[in-house]
Amino acid sequence: MTDSLTGPAAAPAAPPAPDFTQRLRTAVGAPDAPLVLLGNFEVEEQWAAGEHTLPRFSADSGAAVVNRMDEFALLLGRPGDHVVLKTAPDPAYLDYLTGLGVGLPEVHVVAGQRFDRTVTADALDDPALLERLSALGASGARLLPHGTSRPEELLAERTGLPLATPGAARCKAVNSKVYSRRIADELGLRQPAGWTCETVGELAAALEKAKGLLAEGRRAVVKEAYGVSGKGLVVLDGERRADRVLKMLSAKAERSGRPDLAFVVEEWVDNRGDLNYQFTVARDGSTHFDFVKRALTEGGVHKGHRFPADLTPGQLADVTHAAARLGERLAADGYYGVVGVDAILTADGGVHPVLEINARNNMSTYQTRLQEAFVGPGRAALARHYPVRLDGRLGFDRLRELLGDLLLTDPAGSGLLVNNFATVNAGLDVRPGEPFDGRLYGIVVAGSAAELDDLDERLTARLQALGAAHVH
């Protein structure tokens, strides 16, 4: 829930580097084309469609919030671009952003959003919107989804809007954890002991090896190849659980008549910190390292990421080396665009630089532009979401009133910069008339780390005291 961002130390003036959004456009081969942005978060669900998975369910309220993360895409676009959203942004929120000098893309709203489906599914169900998008396609625009799966490909086909990403099959393939284990081995990148499994026999053999780890007092994890980060996995703490997983997945494979599986089994490594780094692969095969952030935990609960990641020179070198090698390898396999990688710091002070590859946009991707604009040299920032529970719709005007001077309103000042407001009211229609949970995403910007902590505490207190929401 928390990302801490710090601007670089003041440095001698240098020629301005292209900003992230321009670099991204150039990388995907569309430096001057208008983009049509689509925030189809948890695209992994589509990549996993038809695969054998561990049993899992999600609550409607959770899905509603995830689907409204579509509004992040608003902040990846600039004037001249377009963004498709599930509902029109709160006009007061748009005024707030433009008041800060944030140039925004033109918003296209789907005709009949449903809280339980992605913005892509909503768009495919809206003939008038498809016509408008077709016109944009005819005028040279490109479609840039959060991640590309079959529905986004279908949207591209039905509108004639060319994708600014590789096709769904390529994107799915490079997102597989089977793929990332294999290329990490091939590239000689350090990773936890583990095995890829594409048949029941391979899974059985891998689980036997995992039992060896368990016998030594270590732990192991079974992960779906296409699972969302942190989901679609089970930690094995004993042989019984390993046997149960094998029995369940064998039965699924047998009953379906499809014996192929896509899982990895690996050691669950005791880590000293989770890292996430991003690089951009250009169509010419070159790779640009964008950033590395470190996860923050509080009381064992994941709170987000911190930047800079406070790595030793050796750790940073391991990460940037891995990014360069992975970028080359992905390019050789025909991938281009944004890549986020999860990595961990190990107890011996080293790095496992590739736990999984997310060949799609990441949450941090949508913060990058704001970070460039508002977190200048010597400033600090903390990006997080505040969980909120509401009894009814909260308008941005009311939020602004509640937060008062704690809301960032001066680009050079301090305060909370809201970067997604749709997730606040996302659960409104899930159980009409009942209280609902939402998330207020923002980046707290301050002049120092101490001011940042103070602002964060005051923001939390203000939300609680005014009773508009309560933080769990």
Partner 1 sequence: MSDTTTALDRASLVAVIGRALGAVLGDGLPELTEDSRLFDQVGLDSSGVFELLMELEEALDIELDTDHLEMSHFETLRSLADFLITEMSA
Measured from the Cβ of residue 292, the count of other Cβ atoms closer than 10 Å reads 24
Q: What is the DSSP letter of 1?
A: -
Alpha helices in 141-286, H assignment, sequence order? 150-159, 168-175, 177-187, 200-215, 239-256
Identity of the residue, 39 or 232, whose beta carbon is nearer to partner 1 in the bound complex: 232
Pick from 138, 140, 146: which is nearest to 165 by CA? 146
**Residue 100 CB partners (closer than 8 Å, separation 6+):** 374, 408, 409, 411, 417
Residue 399, Cβ density class (10 Å: 0-12 exposed, 13-18 middle, ≥19 buried):
buried
Min separation Cβ 160 and partner 1, Å: 36
Identity of the residue, 182 or 302, whose beta carbon is nearer to partner 1 in the bound complex: 302
Sites of contact with partner 1 (CB under 8 A): 54-59, 61-62, 230-235, 240-241, 244, 248, 251-252, 255, 300, 437
Min separation Cβ 347 and partner 1, Å: 22
Min separation Cβ 53 and partner 1, Å: 10
Q: Report CA torsion sign: 146, 103, 293, 470.
A: negative
Min separation Cβ 367 and partner 1, Å: 23
Identity of the residue, 403 or 430, whose beta carbon is nearer to partner 1 in the bound complex: 430
Min separation Cβ 297 and partner 1, Å: 13
Query: Is the Cβ–Cβ distance between 388 and 463 less than 8 Å?
Result: yes
Identity of the residue, 303 or 400, whose beta carbon is nearer to partner 1 in the bound complex: 303
Identity of the residue, 66 or 155, whose beta carbon is nearer to partner 1 in the bound complex: 66
Min separation Cβ 81 and partner 1, Å: 33
Query: Which token pair is 45?
Result: 């669900």
Identity of the residue, 59 or 449, whose beta carbon is nearer to partner 1 in the bound complex: 59
Min separation Cβ 222 and partner 1, Å: 10
Q: Which residue carries 């990006």 as its tokens?
A: 383
Identity of the residue, 16 or 300, whose beta carbon is nearer to partner 1 in the bound complex: 300
Query: Is the Cβ–Cβ distance between 290 and 359 less than 8 Å?
Result: no
Query: Is the Cβ–Cβ distance between 194 and 264 less than 8 Å?
Result: yes
Query: What does residue 329 show for φ and ψ, rounded to 5 degrees?
Result: -70, -40
